[in-house]
Amino acid sequence: MPTKVYLSSAGRPVDPEDAKISVFDRGFLYGDSVYETLRTAGGRFVEMGRHLARLRRSAEGLGLEIGFDDEAIRAAAGETCAASGEVDCYVRVIVTRGAGELALDPRQAGAPLLVIIAKALRVPSAAEYERGIAAMIVDVRKVSRRSLDPTLKTGNYLNSIQALRQATGAAADDAIMLSLDGAVAEGATSNVFVVAQGRLRTPCLQTGLLSGITRTTVLELAAELGIAAEEATIWPEEARAAEEVFLSSSVRGLMPVTRLDGVVVGDGGMGPITRRLHERYAAYVAAIAAGRGRA
Ligand SMILES: Cc1ncc(COP(=O)(O)O)c(C=O)c1O
């Protein structure tokens, strides 16, 4: 099934080869943009409301006027998914500050540009979830909230790219990044959970990380299942000694980390608490697909 791209400049979804933006677009030049990645299940968006709220918070943090209301973005995303012909879509919503003079000053920008990419969703197979991934706690740190605030989801992902380069260069699948203080913050494109001494724990937002939509859902589902969860400061030693570690994100869901820094985590497979949450999360996505959940 084809990938489709909506551009507000075109006003409709087009084929990728026809999706052209200006080389003066500030998203291209400076990463001066905000974005969200989400999925559909059975043709319905998963948590679009929360993704749009975060998109607006990120834009506010950059002083970027989005210029499209939520209904317009939902409609354009719906149209793009429909044009792709997929019921389970990977959806990326991007708003750039637009094109303008070749100058940093955002006052020189023109109108914002909305881009939506919809393509076939590829989720890990059951065997891939069972196997889990190898993660590495990398040297590349999150930046301070006084720099490019890591709680904003902007188009500037070079920090995560550098982290991922280090991890994959060392034959790991994914990177876990620390805060400037050395506390566990998050993955390159995911949040981190650990089960330590039987307790489910995730780095608190004060650590300086993206408030993941899936992270929030996992905390809600854990409460439903009666699994006590804590948002806390987690040091690398705690993560390395944990019985279970997993990463959460909108596209991958809950992915077990079965090797951390080259050492097997727990018994090397999906741990029991991760499994309960993974299965509950799958049921939550299935409910949305069936029209019973929050879309
Ligand atoms: C840096 C970072 N942290 C966490 C996440 C997970 O967020 P969500 O659960 O909203 O997909 C992402 C997702 O892209 C991310 O890029």
Do 93 and 230 touch, CB atoms closer than 8 A?
A: no
**Closest CA to ligand 1's atom 16:** 189
Edge-to-edge order in the sheet of strand 113-120 = 12-14, 4-7, 113-120, 89-96, 33-41, 44-45
d(C-alpha 249, C-alpha 198), whole Å:
23
Q: What is the pLDDT of residue 293?
A: 73
Task: Say yes or no: CB of residue 64 within 6 Å of ligand 1.
Answer: no
Specify the pLDDT at position 190.
98
Residue 71 main-chain phi, psi, to 5 deg: -65, -40
- Cβ of 214 closer than 6 Å to ligand 1, yes or no, is yes
Cβ atoms of 159 and 197 within 8 Å: the answer is no
pTM (2 d.p.): 0.97
DSSP letter, residue 81: H
Taking each helix axis from N to C end, the angle separating 48-62 and 70-84, rounded to the nearest 10 degrees, works out to 120
Q: Mutate which of 48, 58, 210 to test ligand 1's pocket (most atoms within 8 Å of Cβ)?
A: 210
Three-state DSSP string of 263-295: EECCCCCCCHHHHHHHHHHHHHHHHHHCCCCCC
Ligand 1 pocket test target in 191, 209, 277 with most atoms within 8 Å of CB = 191
Give the model's pLDDT for residue 1.
66
Please, are residues 251 and 271 in contact by the beta-carbon 8 Å criterion? no
Q: What's the CA gap between 263 and 7, in Å, rounded?
A: 45
Q: How far, in Å, from the CA of 189 to the mean position of ligand 1?
A: 5
CA-to-CA separations, 289 to 89, 104, 217, 278, in angstroms, rounded? 12, 43, 16, 17
For residue 274, give both structure tokens: 């991760």
* Spans of the chain below 50 pLDDT: none
Give strand pairing partners of 136.
Answer: 175
119 alpha carbon – ligand 1 mean position (Å): 19
d(CA 210, CA 28): 22
Walk me through the domains of the chain, giving residue ranges and CATH numbers.
Answer: 4-120 (3.30.470.10), 126-289 (3.20.10.10)
